[in-house]
Chains A and B, each alone.
Chain A
Amino acid sequence: MKRGTLVLVGVLTLLLASAVALAQTDYENVDPTGQTITFWHQHTLDRETALKDIVDAFNASNPYNITVKAEYQGGYNDIFRKMLPVLDTADAPNIVVAYQNQSATYALGNGVVDLRPLVDSAKWGLSAADKADFFPGFFQADVFPSFGGARYGFPPNRSMEVMYYNIDWLKELRAAGKIDFDGPPANPEQFQQAACAATQSRYSKATTSGSIGYELSIDASRFASWTFAFGGNIFDDSANRFTYDTPAAVQAMTFLQGLFDQGCASIVTENYGDQTDFGAGRTLFTVGSSSGLPFYKSAVDEGAKFDWSVAAIPHTTPEPVMNIYGASVSIPTGHSAEANLASWIFIKYYTSPTVQAQWAKASEYFPVRQSVAAELSDYFDAHPAYKTAFDLLPYGIAEPPVPGYDFVRDEIASDMAAIMDGAPVEDTLKTANATANEILADQLKALPKN
């Protein structure tokens, strides 16, 4: 393509984009009738079946004769790869599952629709009561500070980082006088006490040799969770920059490093090796996604068979602060206003309380609305650990929705590994934070200017 043509196309795109921006308020008069909507997702097995049921019900019942076609397109990363070449073209799907940093990348290519006009539309949007029904952390997670507060996604489900703990083992430790509290540790001191005690005194029913208090999996989300629990954050929304070197982060990492120095914690040395060791009664604590609940259940049921549950990450803050995450659904550009509206109508249906209850039960994710609790009581009875975690959802906050976050995550995971190997915390985090902000600045250079 010639340079001139490119410039021309660029200018036209900008004009078009601003025209769309101006026309955004006009969803009131758009007619979604008869649209066919494609929905790219990553769900397989039981979740795919459940999603299909939801889609079928929507197709049969919606008054606009909208037809949704849900299509499996591989895992999150596969979907991301598939999206890149079709951004802002008619080949893009109408709805796509995307993590926040992925939709931020799409936004770099003008590839995703700002949902604010739809969510706030008087005719099609959500009422104030509806909005308030969403868990605030969930609702806020898809608002992108780097893009002027645009909303590039909407949450149909979430997971949360929780602490898994072995109830029976804790009781044993308590009975032996090795710890001085009941129930799960509420703060880092108790966590440390129990972790070190467990390292010393093996769980009586353990099915393997060895014993350790806490198995830490190296991951940027673990970093975020512990920093949240120490009252900090890894990102400053108002300044639009990473804050990996704040006192809370330093304290959190110093605390974990201390556990390693004392021999009370070790690094998970296999994919999901912490689940294995938890199930075998080898480790007292692990921290990980709530989406692991069914896997932990299988691990324990066919392992050391003990009583276990989940709890908030031990925190120094008065209330727990929990790390919630999960992919949202976004509406890619490249389609008519009618199609976008139809997509939103489906998303609205998908996130309505009754459907959310159905989806939560089948998918084992958390629903995004507080009122769903009423419809889940049977499920709560059958899955007490899920219920415990559910009660923590109001305390959830999210990791930052910025482009390039995957790359930052790799850097942070590296630095975290280095700290657990004994690197000085403050210096390491200072460098890490500088790198993270460089990466972010580098990403934002590509921000569309309109």
Chain B
Amino acid sequence: MTSRLLTVGRALAFVAIALLGCAIVFQLAGYPSAGMFGAIVAGAFIAPHAIVHTLRWAMPLFITAVGVLVAFRCGYFNIGAQGQFYFGAIAAAFVADAFGGGPPVFVIPLAIAAGVAGGALWALWPGFLRVRFGTDEVITTLMGNFIAALALLYVASGPLKDASGSGEVAAARPVAAALRIATSSGVSFTLVAIVVVIGVLMWLVVDRTAFGVLGSLAGRNPVMVVWQGARSSRIGLAAFLFSGGLAGLAGALELLGPSGRLLGGFAPTLGFSAILIALVAGLSVPATAVVSIFFGGLAAASLYLPVIAGYPAAAIDIINAAITLLITARAWPSFTRRSRAAA
């Protein structure tokens, strides 16, 4: 436990270094760096509704990051969370659209289940190719992201197109108000409750089940668990299904919550931020919750930087990129990629 805290502490220190580096660069470029820190803190935690904005982003990031974490622990580099998130939202949108007038008590769980299934299916085929033929999952899941983004565009401007829309943005028909589990503020009791329950469940799965421990053994040495009699392909498929299912869940919650409708290219970096969060958190579920709130805060603050400090909106992207660079340099060696030869 202490070593894990150390990992997270070290990662957060790297984040601090990244912020400091950005501040220096911004200062040299003529923007007051003190204003940057002020705006970030204000935008994330102090300004009216800042906490709500922070949580609004922290929750989908957390769910998706936990999914990424499960796959990474088992030694599979599923970087397709973004696409799985989209397919979760698409599947949920179809259900919500088809049963828009039905009783919400049934339709909402059904839509959420559809979202989980959609995300899981979008992770299943790379998982199958990986365990059956050894196809590199980095390539397949990455490519899956592009297909999913195009599928989202198609659905939002095709089957579920909002006829009343202007047509400038691919926008689908809005989800019936009765099916929404949060307003556009993005935070509600139902949503928080679902996220907390899922977080606890996944913490149990990762730390307190045979699957969790065997998965982490397999992630570091797949040959060893085979010699113990484990069916490594089943562990692998389960890892992909958990991973995609959680991203799909995040997509469904996003749709039924703050978004309220499918929009072409919405939340375009969520799946990638989730990868970053899982790595910063040292692949631990509790730490992922903390780190998600931090990154949720950064996302919320990105609205404030231009307004308060006069920064260009791209400043947050630069900060994110700087953090990514420093974290990836540090976080990879702890979980090495399983080699092809071992498969």
> Real complex partners, A and B?
no
